[in-house]
Amino acid sequence: MGKKITEKEINLNVALLDTFKKNEKIDYIDCFLPLLAVVLRDGILSDIEPESIKEAFEKELEIEFPVTAIKSILKRAVKRGLLEKHEGNYLKNDSEISLYSEKYTKNKNQIVADQNLIANEFIEFAFKKFGRQFDEDGFFVSFNKFLKENIIDILGQNYRPEIQGKSTNNMNYIISCFLKSSWEEGVGFPSTIQRIIKGYLLSNYLCNSSVNMSDNIKRFKVFLDTPLIIAALGFNGSSKERYVKELLNGLKVVGAKIYVLDINEEELRGIFSSWIHDLKNNNYKKFKPHTLKLFKNSGIDEIYLGEGANLIGFKVGRVGNPKNGFSSI
């Protein structure tokens, strides 16, 4: 996937996206528009499609982006005027793209300066206080490791930095001392440290990176509604099936437990029964057009659905049966 990106570069690229979240009317989807503008400005794409944007983003940030997220970003780009959609094709608006990409460059320079500042402050602190010497890359690697281990506490409403350990050979001890010295009561951390924390959160959680999640996250339980189950089983078309499975796989990656309530399983059986009844009686009025088209193109009939209905209990895991989960979908 290209060159190995450093911990500092991950924070730099992703924290940069956060600089565009200026008010409540702008969310994190908007934060990716500057990166999209740079990709479009540089003309590295032969066409503007979700898959090609996904590849370009992953090359730039070395973070895995779901196709569904890219689709949302493209939709937002149309809304913000960077793109126009004409007969299913995306067309560039060069003036808006130029405006966004200029902001990207301007803010990137500021963030580089901020990150250099915080790294140098830590290096100076560690040497003067403990006689330890570090370089920039060493700081960012260690700091990200510290964040990974303490992120739940740091995000807590009543968080206050506490000293961890006693030995100067313990990196967590040095970092926690540095954070405590940087903390200002009533204000919190300076913006430079806040930016690194936000960058870590975005890169490791929002974009589905390979970093392991906290045990607290792994205890999450996710309950699927009936329409989502139908899509995951492929009855709303292959594209929706792929997107839903992408979502489910992302949840599995972070260790979430996925369940289906008994009532949803019964609803699913009811839908199958209704489909079987209508197919037997050649009554197609109740079917959604795309569902009926899928049935015809795939050769799905009442016999196939009857067999599927008998397997529903094996397809979905219910509460109280966590061993099955949703692994068979």
- The whole-number average pLDDT for the span 173-193 is 81
Helix (H) or strand (E) run with residue 119 in it: helix 94-130
How many alpha carbons lie under 13 Å from residue 149 in its C-beta half-sphere? 12
Backbone angles phi, psi at 165, to 5 degrees: 85, -175
Can you tell me the distance from the alpha carbon of 79 to that of 74, in angstroms, rounded to the nearest whole number? 9
Please tell me the least confidently modeled range out of 11-25, 117-131, 150-164, 244-258.
Answer: 11-25
The CATH number fitting domain 7-102, selected from 1.10.10.10, 1.10.1040.50, 3.40.50.720, 2.60.120.460: 1.10.10.10
Question: How high is the pLDDT of residue 126?
Answer: 92
Q: What is the pLDDT of residues 138-161, one digit of tens each?
A: 888 888 888 878 776 776 656 777
pLDDT of 157 reads 58
Quick check: 229 pLDDT over 90?
no
15-40 pLDDT, tens per residue? 666 656 555 466 667 878 888 888 88
Average pLDDT, the chain: 75
Return the closest-CA partner of residue 14 out of 200, 210, 213: 200
Over residues 206-225, the pLDDT tens digits come to 444 444 444 445 566 778 88
Give the confidence band of 240 by pLDDT, cuts at 50, 70, 90. confident
What are the domain boundaries of the chain?
7-102, 112-211, 221-315
Encode pLDDT of 42-98 as tens digits. Answer: 776 667 888 888 888 887 766 677 787 888 889 999 999 999 988 888 999 999 999
Q: Are 96 and 83 in contact (CB under 8 A)?
A: no
Q: Indicate the DSSP class of residue 235.
A: T
| pLDDT tens track for 309-324 | 555 554 444 433 333 3
